[in-house]
Amino acid sequence: MRDRFRLILVLSATLPACSGGSGAPVAPINPGSTTSSASPATPVATPTPMRTASPAPTASPVRTASPAPTASPAPTATPIADCDVTEFPIPTADSGPYFISAGPDGALWFAEQSANKIGRITTSGSITEFPVPTANSGPTGIAAGPDGALWFTEQRANKIGRITTAGSITEFAIPLPPGVTVGSGMPFGIAAGPDGALWFAEGTDVDAANGAIGRITTAGAITEFSVVASGGSQPLGISAGPDGNLWFADSKTVGFGKIGRITTSGTVTEFAVSGTITNPFDIAMGPDGALWFTVSSIAGEMGAIGRVTTAGTFTQFATPTTISDPTGITAGPDGALWFADSFENLVGRISTAGTITEFTIPTANGDPLGIVAGPDGALWFTEGFANRIGRIPTCASPAALQRSTRNSSARSRRRFGTGRPSAAPG
């Protein structure tokens, strides 16, 4: 098994079991029904922006890598209609692909956390890789910027990177989160904001410390805003919202998680996640004007997909599988949300009404993590353990690939960090 650092694994070790963690069955959540409504939290006073960090010296552009040979797709499932899952091996072994983004050049770009590279794959499956200048930097999140480049987080190096579509990389050092004087910051998710800047979620490796939301201009100037919460905060995924703000998933070090909102001027408001499971991981804007997020499993609990309105009202939908670990989520071209489930080795689709359909991945223990809609109308996803990039077209009912959509209240006591089973579950 490759060595791949995942922030969420570190966090779960300090979290108490959720309600129902004793193993008692939890009734399936009725799709479409609101679990509970959370009154909007009192906005935290607009924090004084911390000092703007001067951009780190521009790194010497890394030479554009020679295109690797076109990867031959791995064997796919038996063709059913037009809904085959196709997989493309990544040239570098054990590269640890994490998040993935559509680029301005019509290709998909992904962060290789273990190989310390940024990868590019065309819609025909040709892969090129570009090394990150800082060694062992842990590239994790990636997003297209307004300047025609891709921007990515370096979780282990506490930096933000920028890569042009030609492969030239520049890096910018991030100060420690406000109030944190020891340890290091750990930038995770990143997204383009409505103000022409990039916004990123920044946790810390110090238990119970407060993380931050960072903003970086395309010129490299960084400002950070504290996310202050009792017991600490750990912002992970981040997305632009339909209301002109940024929304983020806060998986707290101690206690349960929240969904946060930050204005472009830096005012932070957080809403406690309501539902059976409250450990948010990634977040995306849906076609219905709400934010949708993945709720990862902790202490063996079944994962879920959550929805929150811009007013702070939550609905939660249990996934059909017995044990699940939803990770990345994205809006699809078909008006639904699509998500990756790393533990169950699935890609899931949830309609805005809450109907979930899941699709198996041909390679066992693939570990799907990030997912994004591609320019070809398909969904593209990373497979962390299988070291592949996968592609699945949008479709409604491919019989040979579709798993049961029944709800299950059975729970496993598996905890994060205990290792991947040797055989595909299910």
Q: What is the DSSP string of 297-343?
A: --TT---EEEEE-TT-EEEEEE-SSSS--EEEEEE-TTSSEEEEETT
Residue 298 to residue 178: CA distance in whole angstroms: 28
The pLDDT of residue 320 is 87
Q: Is 368 within 8 Å of 420 (Cβ atoms)? A: no
Tell me how many degrees the CA angle 155-157-159 measures, rounded to the nearest 5: 80
- As beta bridge partners, residue 120 has 109, 128
The pLDDT of residue 299 is 55
The pLDDT of residue 253 is 52
In CATH, 91-393 is 3.10.20.30: no
> Coil, strand or helix: which one is 191?
strand
Residue 149 to residue 190: CA distance in whole angstroms: 13
Closest by CA to 114, choosing from 383, 325, 346, 424, is: 383
The pLDDT of residue 228 is 86
The pLDDT of residue 424 is 29
The pLDDT of residue 182 is 56
Positions in the chain short of pLDDT 70: 1-83, 178, 180-183, 253-255, 276-277, 298-301, 396-426
Q: 29: which residues sit within 8 A by CB, 6+ positions away?
A: 35, 275, 276, 304, 316, 317, 318, 407
What are the angstrom distances between the C-alpha of 184 and each of 61, 112, 213?
26, 21, 15
